[in-house]
Structure 1
Amino acid sequence: MLHAEGPLLTVDVGERTARRTEIDELLADAIGGRAAATALAHERIPFDADPFGPENRVYVSTGPLQQSRMSFTGRMNMTGLSPLTDGLVSANAGGYLSRNFVGTGISAFEIVGESDELLAVHVTDSGVEFEPVPDLEGATVPETSEYMSERHDLGPEHCIAIGPAGENQVRFASAMTFDSRAFGRGGLGAILGAKNVKCVTFEGDAEPPVEIPDPPESEIHREAATADDRMRSQGTAGGTEFINDNFSLPTRYFREYEFEGAADIGGDAVEEKKYKKGACSACAYACKLPTRDEETGLETEGPEFETIYAFGSMQGVDDVVDVMQSNELCDTLGMDTISAGVTVAAYLESEDAFGDADLAHEITEKIAYREGIGDLLAEGVDRAHDELGVENYTVKGMEFAAHDGRVLHGQGLSYAVANRGADHLYASMLALEYSGELDPQGTLGKAERLVEREDLAAFLDTGIVCVFGRDYATPERLETLFDADCETLLEVGARTVELERHFNNRRGFDREDDDLPYEIPDLDEAIGEYYAARGWNDDGTIPTRAIESPPAPSAD
């Protein structure tokens, strides 16, 4: 089976040490990416760890396809113990980092400990350098990239950086690469902030050999280059009006299901501001959205659909430039646009101030710096809702993505049981319900498809293949690329989901945490069907049988 090559590099930022460990046995079973990182985290992060403590660990990992020149492969995985959900979380980001990461000769990178001063960590194919960077205290993400470019000739495509939100341990702070691409959900940037790590850079020429079958490598790349669909011109923003008109676009902190201003912030409005093409490394699909407002001079990348929802309809804001500004604030300060936007919307609800974009921008900045009310909001909706006097629209502490489980009941079931919380990409049941392949109404009988979707998503995060490449990286092509049948590949995904669940179980998560803040039909029975399909206990825990997982080296 095709898998990533290279050792695990462990960096202790407290002790200023670096050590390489061979993990060939793990990679042979886990392939790389999310599966390998989850296996390492499960073995090496103590079950009782404090997310902000030195014992928490952050993993950055790559899959074998990051050594190809195939479209949809310019991505990386990051895994850690989430400050937002208190469970394991993985996120991935695009951009141009993955090829530079592979050039260092490693397959996975681990940070542990806690520095007593603000650090940049430089990883090359010949070693690791620790650089104190006191001048970067409070610096934005672009300012950090500029510093690295000027001092080390390493542009943003070499960097993972945090902004003020990460330094101030905002629970939904992102780790950023290429300035505008986010390891977004779950507060991974806050873990780096707690460790006093401002930036990590990767550079080298020690790329280990991995042979990628061609075809399908060239076929996928050619089809991506010649695809004719709206995603390439409008990104995910292109679905805004369709979803608003036919399903639900949550509006004014979930008060309403439809936003009257959707057309003013949707795909056409975003495309009008797009001024050039944007892509990730080696990808010919080029679905990114570099946008500019000529009147104000504002430039950003996006907004994508989730940001349009979080800073648009959820806040009652119907000006695309206002949403662009919110998007740029989050990228610059280093925050997940979904959690940040929903949290700001909760504040606007408490103040009866929907539609006040200037206030939304002010509060967004206050969150990043934990100033005034921003200190409370930096904790997220789950921890702040009582004081705000609003409903707690979260699952496992994570704020909801746009795709409304009150209308898409299979997606609602997915939110309820997902180890990551209310994140739409954990299984993407929404795709089946938007397309009509599954009836959006009802939860019963959907568990088997949900399990399949979760396992596939976990595998694609392992390979690593962009979610937008699913139509191109077909099951048949995946079998050829990875030299394994689909059942084997899905088993890799299933093991990953089970390891996440077991880790969370050991932290106290059980069936009570698999719930929604609203009612949908037969949810409890459907959750039972899901557990049965997984072979789990009725209380949402993993059976006492030995956890089937790739062998991971234990921490010293």
Structure 2
Amino acid sequence: MALDRKIAYINLTTGDVEIKPIPLEMRKKFIGGRGMDAYLLYNHAPKGCDPIGPENPMIVSGGLLTATCASATARTHVMAKSPLTGLLGSCNMGGFFAPEMAWAGFHHLVITGKADKPVYLWIHNGEIEIRDAGHLWGKNSTDTQWAIRDELDDEEVKSMVIGQAGENLVTYACVMTGIKNAGGRTGLGCVMGSKNLKAVAVRGTMDIKIAHPVDALEHNKKFIDQITGAKVNQIQGALGTPFIWGATNCWGGVRTRNFQYNQMEYADEIEPEAIDDYAAETMGPHHMTGCFGCQVHCRAQYKIQSGLYKGKYDEGPEYTSLGAFGAEPDCKSIETVLTGNHLVNQYGVDNLEIGSMIAWAMELYELGILTTKETEGLDLRFGNDEALLQMVHNICTRTGWLGNVLADGGIPAAEKIGKNAFDYLIQVKGMNNLHSDERATPGLALNIATASRGSDHLRSRPAIDLYHLPEPVLRKIYSSPVPYDGPLSSEHTEYIGKPWQVFWQENVYMAVDCLGICKYHTVFLGATLPNFEDWPKVIYYNTGLEFTPREIWDAAERCNNLERLFNLREGLTRNDLKKGDTLNHRYFDEPCRRGAPDVIGKRIDRDKFNVMIDEFYEHHGWDNDGVPTSETLTRLGLENEPTRLL
């Protein structure tokens, strides 16, 4: 059955492989996926280890419900110490890899050591083999996957790979599976590259016994109706995630020209409807596709129509590519956005991070902090499409002084560039922010400041705060499964009540990452989508495990605290501008200059923001420095960690 999926410990230095079952008591405490990964990282990563050293464990997982009858359980999670931030490294991607790994017998891999030459892992029906990858080294992410399928003579093999960015140890390199499924954040493709691990290939035909198959299928029908009936998912099925960009830019919540503006003007060519028309023109009316077990189909398929990459097929672009290659560098060409999206997918690099790094460099260039000497003659001004795409190449191949410097990540690059370059870097904990502008939304600003892996819109974002839901509706959502009688506000510009919303969303997102579910199938953008009250039955019918909503909440809170413990051990402090729960000064000092009336002039109030941090810590059971109290650790059963039970 689903609970029979195992954990494998693979040492690339020695070639040793050890396979173990996952005890049920560990499932009850950490569920699976990201939560179990947090336990494994805290227990297996030596304090202060080098992120690109052999001792840094790389953990790959599927969720508890992966490959079962539950809908939209395609997510793969990867965790290690981040080479970008020096703190928690964690990424999540869709596609088909994690289900295939489950059918091959595994829910978790713990990969340590470093191979003396390029290798890939071949995992097939309970067996694990380390194979030579010398012939794959240097290939892009798509060609690598096709070459592995040819070598193994099996079109159904699914692979998690790195492209040239991971090989070149770009600190924000991705892990990739399929054409565009990217584990983008925190640079875990760099960790793979440091281990000389080019790919993990999986193929499984092992049965997974469902505990109560008839009930599981019937219940999943209700889930599908709930998911596909939500208007937000109907829109995503038509326009993909770019619809978020269109709405947000219109309102004035998209940072443009790095952080100088909060709305991109004259952007008709890259609006979601224009991209949809473009994709339909190149691929036909049925141009939307999706991940394993998902009915939404939220990404487009397209071919580039002109330029050097004319005729190249790709998928997307996602919301983040519109910011990375559109709003932030102020480039208004659909071909530039789609070409940039294609390049990052092939090189295997975080589109969000590389776009932000280039936009930051563009502002430094226009300020005179960078000159043509550092850019080697490249005119790195905003709106220069050719310079934008050239810098993608330069960074991923570490070409030229600036390409090499930017490949190391924002904080190291700021130190090398000097002057006051760091002041213009829109980062938290060393990781660049999404192309969103949170100055008009204190709750979302609190989210990015306190997220466990750095500036992040997928860790605790209360996105429904923008819907102006009536307070009784908010209270119904945010009072389950733990009662909450504190303040709540329907106004997104308010500060009151937002710490609880961020805390609640943090536990929701941890829970779905433990289960292996897509965040678009929970209370992220859709207030009526599944949450704690909906998950016990789907868990029970598929696995036989019995959880109450409160037990799922407790497990999520336990796992979030493990991530906090890891970060604290690796140097996180509350107010550190490079490793803390705080924001770039521009959030506090510079008001929004464009957008709707409720946006123009907005900035984050420092005093109110600090009160929000205090309240957020209090909800967690942390002290004023953000350290879990002994009472909190005892309540969650973490007082003896690391226990090294698994």
TM range (shorter): over 0.9
Q: Which secondary structure does the structure 2 equivalent of 1:426 belong to?
A: coil
41 and 235 in structure 1: CA distance in 2 versus 1, 3 angstrom threshold = same
Question: How far is 1:473 from its partner?
Answer: 2.6
CA deviation string 1:52-71 (max 9, x = no partner): 11111111111232132443
1:430 to 452, 455, 463: 463
1:487 to 550, 555, 576: 550
Question: How far is 1:433 from its partner?
Answer: 2.5
444 and 374 in structure 1: CA distance in 2 versus 1, 3 angstrom threshold = same
Partner of 1:248: 253
457 and 474 in structure 1: CA distance in 2 versus 1, 3 angstrom threshold = closer
427 and 157 in structure 1: CA distance in 2 versus 1, 3 angstrom threshold = farther
The answer to whether the 8 A contact 1:61-1:108 is kept is yes
2:502 to 440, 450, 460: 450
**Aligned residue identity for 1:421:** G
Question: How far is 1:223 from its partner?
Answer: 5.1
Mapped pair 1:320 → 2:334: yes
Partner of 1:282: 293
2 CA distance for matches of 1:5 and 1:435?
Answer: 45
Question: How far is 1:171 from its partner?
Answer: 0.8
CA deviation string 1:311-364 (max 9, x = no partner): 111001011111010011000000111001101111222223001111111111
Question: How far is 1:549 from its partner?
Answer: 5.0
1 CA distance for matches of 2:465 and 2:155?
Answer: 39
Q: Which aligned pairs between 1:110-509 and structure 2 lie closer than 5 A?
A: 110-155=110-155, 158-211=158-211, 213-222=216-225, 224=227, 229-274=234-279, 275=283, 276-295=287-306, 296-352=310-366, 353-372=381-400, 373-386=402-415, 387=417, 390=421, 391-435=424-468, 438-470=490-522, 471-482=528-539, 483-509=546-572
204 and 278 in structure 1: CA distance in 2 versus 1, 3 angstrom threshold = same
The answer to whether the 8 A contact 2:521-2:530 is kept is yes
More off after superposition, 509-518 vs 238-247 = 238-247
1:514 to 581, 584, 599: 581
2 CA distance for matches of 1:3 and 1:443?
Answer: 43
Q: Which secondary structure does the structure 1 equivalent of 2:144 belong to?
A: helix
The answer to whether the 8 A contact 1:60-1:110 is kept is yes
246 and 434 in structure 1: CA distance in 2 versus 1, 3 angstrom threshold = farther
**Aligned residue identity for 1:109:** L
Q: Which secondary structure does the structure 2 equivalent of 1:114 belong to?
A: coil
More off after superposition, 441-450 vs 15-24 = 441-450
Q: Which secondary structure does the structure 1 equivalent of 2:328 belong to?
A: helix
Question: Over aligned residues, Cα RMSD in angstroms?
Answer: 2.1
Q: Which aligned pairs between 1:30-69 and structure 2 lie closer than 5 A?
A: 30-69=30-69
Answer with 1 or 2: which has the greater Rg.
2
Question: How far is 1:395 from its partner?
Answer: 0.1
Q: Which runs of 5+ in 1 are unaligned?
A: none
Q: Which secondary structure does the structure 2 equivalent of 1:461 belong to?
A: helix
Q: Which secondary structure does the structure 2 equivalent of 1:245 belong to?
A: helix
1 CA distance for matches of 2:209 and 2:156?
Answer: 25
**Aligned residue identity for 1:221:** I
Q: Which secondary structure does the structure 2 equivalent of 1:315 belong to?
A: coil
CA deviation string 1:119-158 (max 9, x = no partner): 0111112421111121222211012112101111345861
Q: Which runs of 5+ in 2 are unaligned?
A: 367-380, 471-489, 523-527, 540-545, 589-603
**Aligned residue identity for 2:242:** A
The answer to whether the 8 A contact 1:121-1:129 is kept is yes
402 and 431 in structure 1: CA distance in 2 versus 1, 3 angstrom threshold = farther
1 CA distance for matches of 2:126 and 2:534?
Answer: 36
3 and 399 in structure 1: CA distance in 2 versus 1, 3 angstrom threshold = farther
CA deviation string 1:369-393 (max 9, x = no partner): 1111111001122222351753121
1 CA distance for matches of 2:202 and 2:192?
Answer: 16
Question: How far is 1:218 from its partner?
Answer: 2.0
2 CA distance for matches of 1:511 and 1:315?
Answer: 31
More off after superposition, 106-115 vs 16-25 = 16-25
2 CA distance for matches of 1:377 and 1:301?
Answer: 26
**Aligned residue identity for 1:494:** E
Identity of aligned residues (%): 26
2 CA distance for matches of 1:226 and 1:493?
Answer: 27
CA deviation string 1:147-182 (max 9, x = no partner): 101111345861000001111111111000113101
Question: How far is 1:246 from its partner?
Answer: 1.6
Question: How far is 1:6 from its partner?
Answer: 2.1
Mapped pair 1:541 → 2:627: yes
Question: How far is 1:86 from its partner?
Answer: 1.2
Partner of 2:484: none
Question: How far is 1:209 from its partner?
Answer: 2.3
The answer to whether the 8 A contact 1:250-1:256 is kept is yes
260 and 448 in structure 1: CA distance in 2 versus 1, 3 angstrom threshold = same
**Aligned residue identity for 2:164:** P
1 CA distance for matches of 2:230 and 2:335?
Answer: 29
